[in-house]
Structure 1
Amino acid sequence: MNANTLMQTALFIVVLIALAIPLGRYIASVLDGSSVVVRRIGRPLENLLYRLAGVDPEAEMSWKHYALAVMLFNVLGALVLYAILRLQGMLPANPQGMAGMTPDAAFNTAISFVTNTNWQDYGGESTLGYLAQMLGLTVQNFVSAATGIAVVIALIRGFKRHTAQTIGNFWVDLTRTTLYILAPLAVIFALVFVSQGAIQNFKAYEDVSTLQVTTYQAPKTDAQGNAVKDAKGNPVMQDVKADKQTLPMGPVASQEAIKMLGTNGGGFFNANSAHPFENPTPFSNFMQTLAMLIIPAALCVVFGRTVGDKRQGYAVLAAMTIAFAVACWGEIASEQAGNPLYASLKVDASASALQAGGNMEGKETRFGIAQSGIFTVATTAASCGAVANTHDSLTPLGGLVPMLLIQLGEVIFGGVGSGLYGILAFALLAVFVAGLMIGRTPEYVGKKIESFEMKMVSIVILLTPLLVLAGTSIAVLTASGTAGIANPGAHGFSEVLYAFSSAANNNGSAFGGLSVNTPFYNVMLAIAMWFGRFGSLIPILAIAGSLAAKKRLAVTAGTLPTHGPLFVVLLLGTLVLVGALTYIPALALGPIVEHITMVTGH
């Protein structure tokens, strides 16, 4: 750990918190309808959308009605996206003539983007046309993010209201989140990315002459594309001259903005945010990292303001920030340390004027280890999944950090909406445990926490470990699963564990090195993504409905304070003990044993 690392991490956190506080105030005013933007500027358009959709904005929903609306909307979204992906070969705005996806790949991708996971097992520039990218993927980037925010707002209303039978109107929450929060922010960030060099066009791909002509041998083919063979059946080789390169084009900056702001992840190009057309400069890299966390951080402020005690929101934000800072320093320190085996080989891997030092494999020289480390932690803490470096090339402990952040449940900032409602589930568990320790009925933000809430919390916390560990077990015990593993041993197991952790927790990033574009992995990971998203979202709405029906309790001398340092420590301790320890046996078979193998020189 050096001063540069500390300064870059501290600067990022300071900027994040400084922007999240005013944004949180704005979001709170938008969602309760008190904002000037809602009342005077956007009201005509908002009312027009309600009339077109046949929605009564004044009619509120019970939690069951709210959950039904969420499910119907997302099932319809998955069906529409599946159709677009399958039929894209017949659709316009496809200058490269991309064919439709196979059924299993389209199924996986549709589930992936509807669940805010954006897991991709294909190269975007070689698979999808512009219409499929915009009308299919980008639309889901907006509405899947808006769905997560709507659900957490419903939960916050559950804490705020008393003796109420409703938790809001999903269609109103969805519309206002998209119209007043996501869309304006996406325009701002897209313009910033364009100013830095990210492309935004509808051109066909362009061929440019290379500075150097390369000649290599390749199998000769006939007019039908079949390999030409000699009399002995061996392929006939021919000299091929490479004097040009095809550069992909497209509306990249606009998709990049919402991909980050909505913690969607994915990428217009296969190289994701390591591609210079998506992420051209160190400043654009900083802004992309900021975009991933700014709404999740702001929602903590929304929580405190809405429940009438700002300290409650700041306590949750403090717990997230502490965990994020520790993860950043651990990640960067692991990568700066590099591989100790280099020393035994007389290789100097220390930083100097001629080299960056540490483990630079798989990293962009534009960003270096510090910025790559912060990005890696942000994308796996925020349930985003965008990558600016290859996670498969991280050191064992460097790979353990993002994997563990995902496995905690994506609650260290987490996805937009899902991160806050995930950590609030852990907060309910923390006060329940504390209540058992002191012999009092647990309370949180003025609401008594009883058996029904704890049953729902148990589902939220335990469902994703079940999906991850069961899915990983099936993959490593079946021929279809092991067929995709190219790296035998501990690292190959880590790749499978990371894939199911990423899918079930709706992150979308991958270690790489694992061949997942197969029917087995497309179906298995899609199942993990769907139940990981909606299997936890519905219990959260059930908690919201239960809390809204309860009375607000007055604070007494026996009430556990949930806004101070003691509660922050209790919340972090609960995260570690319940969230992390669940995966320790699996982690021991993957990154931990790989690290031991590395340091012992085997």
Structure 2
Amino acid sequence: MSSVIYQGLFFLFILLVLALPLGWYIKEIMQGNTPRGVRFLQPLEKFFYKVIGPISKKEMSAKRYALNVILLSCSSMVLLIIILMTQHWLPGGAAVKNLSLSLALNTAVSFVTNTNWQAYAGETTLSNASQMFGLTVQNFVSAGVGLSVLVALLRGLSQVKKKALGNFWQDLTRGLVYVLLPLAFVFAILLVSQGTVQSFNSGVAYQGLEGKNLWLYLGPVASQVAIKQLGTNGGGFFGANSAYPFENPTLFSNFLENITILLIPAALIFAFGFWVKDWKQGRTIMIVSLFFLLLAFVGVAFSEYYGPEFAHVLGSTNLEGKEIRFGVGWSSLWSVGTTAASNGSVNAMLDSFTPLGGAIPMFLMQLGEIIFGGVGSGLYGMLAFLLLAVFIAGLLVGRTPEYLGKKIEAFDIKMASLVILTPLMLTLFGAMALVLHPDVFSWLTNRGPHAFSELLYGATSLANNNGSAFGGLLANTPFLNVLGSLMMAVSRYLPIIAILFLAENMGGKKKAALNSGTLSTVSATFVSMLLIVILVIGALSFLPVLALGPVAEFFTMK
């Protein structure tokens, strides 16, 4: 167990070493400064502005910024639905069928909202063209949208008496051209060097050990895996995701993919400190995020190492559903990383984790995926919790709450509350809708508390834009496809709209000078309060349903 802890600490050390300079770079790029080393990409940036047209030059209010986000997303959904429902007739699609309307809708909403919930096995259901021009493109765009919304919020927090939030198309273009595309190219090359498949060939025939003729699926895998991890997307090219050797071949590729899940979210915390010119503000968020991540990792690893239910077969270690080459340590680290960030990719079967080992990743999602979280969405979700903590602290000491020199007023708390409560309520109502459906037992392969955990995990994943699943739940049903589409869309865009209006309201305020009575948001006391606020909201909201699922299963295990 001690060696596993050292693995985790080494992983976090490398993550921080890489994230610090990347955070400075992202801050420079999103503020309109182009470092000399990437100026060769400027013609590509200008080309995009020319294609977009005059709208890429105008400052935008919160309403116009949100409208452009929604229009782009709706257009992307329609285009992706058309691709998926006609893929059999498109080049390279002869071996696959067109998707049904409900599955195409669910898949399109899933990838456009950065959820990447997959109710299908990628290699057998989609053509290479659909994977490349449909899913991989949206992996880039959805991550770029999240980054753009965060940048709009940072402008609102830092500027004084100015409500304009910048230009969405400029933010999106610079994020894609200078951040996501170069990083994805580098990581794709590294993955190919480890043996991750990258081919336009759909597969090769081979003869199995028993003499049967079999088919080995191939495709442009490395290019999709790179951005699925960097953009906290998570949708795998193969149905087994990153547990599949041709998608994640070696220990180094596993380490690399795990790092990339958290790399940009961690870098954005540093970028936040650089942006507001107070690195201690970023330090507060980084301490809270590292505390939750490390605690969750230790909890999952301990549960998987010492879970009693497998003691008679494998000693005290739960290796069921895990790749032997990764073992308990790297599987535990991946499970908390992918659910802390809104990634959802897996390198082990979460359904085979011990009850408490599966409950911890579920709870990380139920916190709103603010622990590092998705590209952009994780940090603006954490900032909503931070504003709530500042507001509560102000009430306790009888002062008007302030953050970064700006007063936190009723409107700001309403918008922050929308960000916090939307995924929370959707999780509970989604789980209720699944449990009450008359066909629910036909969708499940298990019974009892574990079956409820599978339903609760699915609702949690959909409502928090994660995309991972326990398994054991039949996902491709018309009801779940439509319900999931609605949950994913509302959970993505209602908080985005709230964040943009919060940014506009904060940007229009004047900045007050700090004095001896100003609440410190970088002290150990405030860090402790932020931890308590996050835990209390999560615990009060989800402890009852967790008691019906993983907790009940734990106490009924023999």
Alignment of 1:484-563 (within 5 A): 484-563=443-522
Q: Which amino acid aligns with 1:305?
A: F
- Corresponding residue for residue 233 of structure 2: 264
Structure-1 residue corresponding to 2:338 = 379
Which of these residues, 238, 242, 245, is aligned with residue 214 of structure 2?
Answer: 245
Secondary structure of the residue aligned to 2:208 is strand
Tell me what 1:171 maps to: 169
Match of 1:415 among 374, 397, 400: 374
Say whether 1:593 aligns with 2:552: yes
Q: Deviations over 1:30-79 (max 9, x none)?
A: 01112225984333321221112113544211111100110001010000
Name the CA shift for 1:87/1:341 in 2 (closer, same or farther; >3 Å). Answer: closer
| Stretch deviating more after TM superposition (301-310 or 379-388) | 301-310
1:224 corresponds to:
none
Aligned length: 558
Q: In the alignment, what sits opposite 1:349?
A: 314
Amino acid at match of 2:546: L
Secondary structure (helix, strand or coil) at the match of 1:483 reads: helix
- The residue type equivalent to 2:374 in the other structure is G
Residue deviations 1:410-434, cap 9 Å, x none?
0110000000000000000000110
Q: Which amino acid aligns with 1:128?
A: L
Structure 1 distance, partners of 2:2, 2:71, is 51
Counterpart for residue 353 of structure 1: none
1:498-547 Cα deviation digits (max 9, x unpaired) = 00100010000000001110001111111111101111111011110100
Q: Does 1:190 align with 2:188?
A: yes
1:6 matched to 2:9: no
Counterpart Cα distance in 1 of 2:330 and 2:127: 31
Change (3 A) 1:107 1:341: closer
Instruction: Give the aligned partner of residue 279 of structure 1.
Output: 248
1:588 partner amino acid: A
**Alpha-carbon displacement from aligned partner over 1:105-142 (angstroms, at most 9, x marks no partner):** 00100000000000001010110001100100000000
Within the candidate set 348, 351, 358, 1:399 is matched to: 358
1:82 pairs with 2:89? no
TM-score w.r.t. the length of structure 1 is: 0.91
Q: Distance in 1 between matches of 2:309 and 2:280?
A: 48
CA contact (8 A) 2:431 2:455 kept: yes
Q: How does 1:139-158 map to 2 (within 5 A)?
A: 139-158=137-156
* Secondary structure at 1:207 match in 2: strand
Give 1:245 deviation, angstroms.
2.3
CA displacement, residues 570-601 of structure 1 (integer Å, 9 cap, x when unaligned): 11111101133211111110001010111xx2
**243-252 or 114-123: which moved more?**
243-252
Match of 1:17 in 2: 16
For residues 440 and 482 of structure 2, what CA distance do their matches in structure 1 show? 12
2:426 is aligned with 1:467: yes
* Whole-angstrom distance in 1 between the partners of 2:369 and 2:54: 33
Aligned counterparts of 1:57 and 1:102: Cα–Cα separation in 2: 36
Deviation at 1:482, TM superposition (A): 3.6
CA–CA distance in 2 between the matches of 1:315 and 1:533? 25
Shift of 1:204: 3.0
Q: Which residue does the alignment assign to 2:318?
A: 359
Q: How does 1:100-249 map to 2 (within 5 A)?
A: 100-213=98-211, 243-249=212-218
Give the Cα–Cα distance (whole angstroms) in 1 for the partners of residues 260 and 317 of structure 2.
28
Residue 295, structure 1, aligned to residue 264, structure 2:
yes
The range that moved more, 407-416 or 576-585, is 576-585
Moved runs in structure 1, 4+ residues, more than 3 A?
37-40, 55-58
Counterpart residue number, 1:222: none
Gaps in structure 1 of 5+ consecutive residues: 214-242, 351-356
For 1:306, give the aligned amino acid.
Answer: W
Letter in 2 for 1:470: F
Q: If the length of structure 2 is used for normalisation, what is the TM-score?
A: 0.98
One of 91, 96, 99 as aligned partner of 2:97? 99
Amino acid at match of 1:485: L
Q: Is the 8 A contact 1:446 1:554 kept in 2?
A: yes
Change (3 A) 1:342 1:190: closer
Partners of 1:67 and 1:38 in 2: CA distance: 32
Report Cα offsets for 1:244-297 as digits up to 9, x if no partner. Answer: 321001000000000000000111000000000100001100000000000000
Matched, 1:310 2:275: no
CA–CA separation in structure 1 for the residues paired with 2:208 and 2:38: 56
Report the residue type matching 1:132 in the other structure: S
Hey, what's the Cα distance between the residues in 2 that align with 1:105 and 1:482?
21
How has the CA–CA distance of structure 1 residues 461 and 470 changed in structure 2, closer, same or farther, with 3 Å as cutoff? same
The letter for the 2-side match of 1:325 is L
**Residues 341 and 25 of structure 1, relative CA distance in 2, 3 Å threshold:** closer
Q: Work out whether residues 310 and 317 of structure 2, in 8 Å CA contact, stay in contact via their aligned partners in 1.
A: no
Indicate yes or no: 2:414 matched with 1:455.
yes
- Larger Cα Rg: Structure 1 or Structure 2? 1
Q: Which amino acid aligns with 2:430?
A: G
Distance (whole Å) between structure 2 residues aligned to residue 578 and residue 342 of structure 1 = 34
SS at 2:209's partner residue?
strand
> What is the CA distance between 1:307 and its match in structure 2?
1.0
- Partner of 2:210, secondary structure, is strand
Aligned amino acid, residue 365 of structure 1: I
Instruction: Determine whether 1:335 maps to 2:304.
Output: yes
Tell me the alpha carbon deviations over residues 199-230 of structure 1, each in whole angstroms, 9 at most, x when there is no partner.
100113211122334xxxxxxxxxxxxxxxxx
**Root-mean-square deviation (CA), in Å?**
1.3
Report the secondary structure of 1:201's partner residue: coil
Q: Distance in 2 between matches of 1:497 and 1:154?
A: 33
